[in-house]
Amino acid sequence: MNLESIPLQAFLIVSSALFCIGIWGLLNSRNAVRVLMSIELMLNAVNINLMAFSSFIDNNLIQGQVFTIFVITVAAAEAAVGLAILLSLYRNRVTVDMESFNLLKW
């Protein structure tokens, strides 16, 4: 092993796998809290991608790290609003089953 550092592709593969696991969970979960967790997994995959590119390609102006900070901020806001929506939904429907939220189905 005579590489001088971990290759960029390793980070990209980890983040791709994490993103696809997040999509699978988003499509297949019955529990609404688990759907929110899958969204957080996907956001983390995007963050790993941004950080890897910022370290390997743009390492003088680390703009990827600044973008990651903003993504973390938006994810925190999204989690707060999402869980509040979930609580009021649970209060009205007395369930968190995703299959029972079909009000917008045509």
Partner 1 sequence: MSIAITTQFICFIILSLVVIIGALGVVLLESIVYSAFLLGGVFMSVAGLYLLLNASFVAAAQVLVYVGAVNVLIIFAIMLVNKKEDLKPINDIKSRRVISLSICLTLLSLLIRVDLTNVWRLSSPQNSIGEESTIRIGEHLFSDYLLPFEVASVLLLMAMIGAIVLARRDVMSKDISTGLPVDQELIEKSSEPLLTNKN
Residues in region 41-80 near partner 1 by CB under 8 A: 41, 44, 47-48, 51-52, 54-63, 65-66, 68-70, 72-80
Residue for token digits 């983040």? 15
Backbone torsions φ then ψ of 104, nearest 5 degrees: -95, 15
Which two three-digit tokens encode residue 101? Answer: 């939220």
Q: Is 83 in the site for partner 1 (CB under 8 A)?
A: yes
Q: Does 101 bind partner 1 (CB under 8 A)?
A: no
Tokens representing 33?
Answer: 């809290």
Asked if 19 and 42 touch (Cβ cutoff 8 Å), the reply is yes
Tell the smallest beta-carbon distance from residue 104 to partner 1 (Å). Answer: 18
User: Taking CB under 8 A as the rule, does residue 21 contact partner 1?
Assistant: yes
Tell me the closest approach of the beta carbon of residue 106 to partner 1, in angstroms. 19
CB 97 within 8 A of CB 33: no
Instruction: Specify the residue, 95 or 106, whose C-beta has the smaller distance to partner 1.
Output: 95
